[in-house]
Amino acid sequence: MNNETSASEQQFLKTYNPEQYKRPSVTVDMLLFTVARGEQKNYRKLPDMELKLLLVKRGKHPFKNQWALPGGFVQVDESLEEAAYRELKEETNVEEVYLEQLYTWGAVERDPRTRIISVSYLALVDHTKLTVKSGDDAAEAEWFTATLKIQEEEKKMTEEGFVQRETFLLTLRNDETTLTADVIVHRTKIGKVETTKTDISLSKGIAFDHAKIIVYALERLRNKVSYTDVIFTLMPDTFTLTELQKVYETILDKKLIKANFRRKISHMVLETNEFTTEAGHRPSQLFTFKNDWSDD
């Protein structure tokens, strides 16, 4: 009789040989997004807002001197979450942020070193409360303005569903560097089953398959702000409704109708007795996030 079926669990584990299976390495990658004011071109108008992503410049091979998401290898004695927070602290000096698991990336040849599976984490942060600096194997840590535009879109209906192909242009830019990637997303639906496959057709300056991960995160982020209150993690304690609308527009990458927007978010905010005092602008009432809005 096979020992695996006849032995007790204790006996089985005592004789178990973990070397009988090849083991892939596991890493974590973190996507920290924030929203910050851009250059003010007209002092009478509020400056545009920019969606920014924190990247690190790799100081070692592979992809040395290219930009990547903060991250690293999971140690055998720590959880995925513990690894994510440790790597974030070691590479960027950032800590005490809420990380939400985003997706697991497991393409066989996604890393030139060996078989590596990566678990990505997403966070929205107030960059003014963070002290970012590089460390560990990161040569630099910088915020990049992130934009994602659809270049081409094709959708063909079939008897059982559809086949869709979207080509995105991802651009990551700061004062000194511009990074770009063309990412193609294939979506297929057959009956009730929908599958998605993503390819990078061109990547300039972005390490590994991180352009693919960033595109996925941006799409997920746009969906999340439509039905959750996650966007308020980007806002200061008090804000104007115009500022809030600009943050929504920045993430969604589209203009919103003022009246419709204010009606939609009215149950999530509370009026304060405070007003803005910025030069060149009429005073505007300040609002704050209503923590218990979901109970309404």
251 within 8 A of 36, measured Cβ to Cβ: no
Catalytic annotation, pick one of 78, 87, 140, 154: 140
The token pair that represents 262 in the structure block = 């204010």
> Helix 258-265 and helix 241-252: axis angle, to 10°?
100
Q: Which residue has the tokens 């996925």?
A: 216
Catalytic site includes residue 109: no
Residue type, 264: K
End-to-end CA distance of the chain: 63
Cα separation, 79 vs 153, in Å, equals 40
Cα separation, 140 vs 94, in Å, equals 13
134 within 8 A of 56, measured Cβ to Cβ: yes
Cα separation, 207 vs 180, in Å, equals 11
DSSP assignment of 225-275 equals: HHHSSGGGGGS-SSB-HHHHHHHHHHHHTS---HHHHHHHHGGGEEEEEEE
Active site amino acids: 140
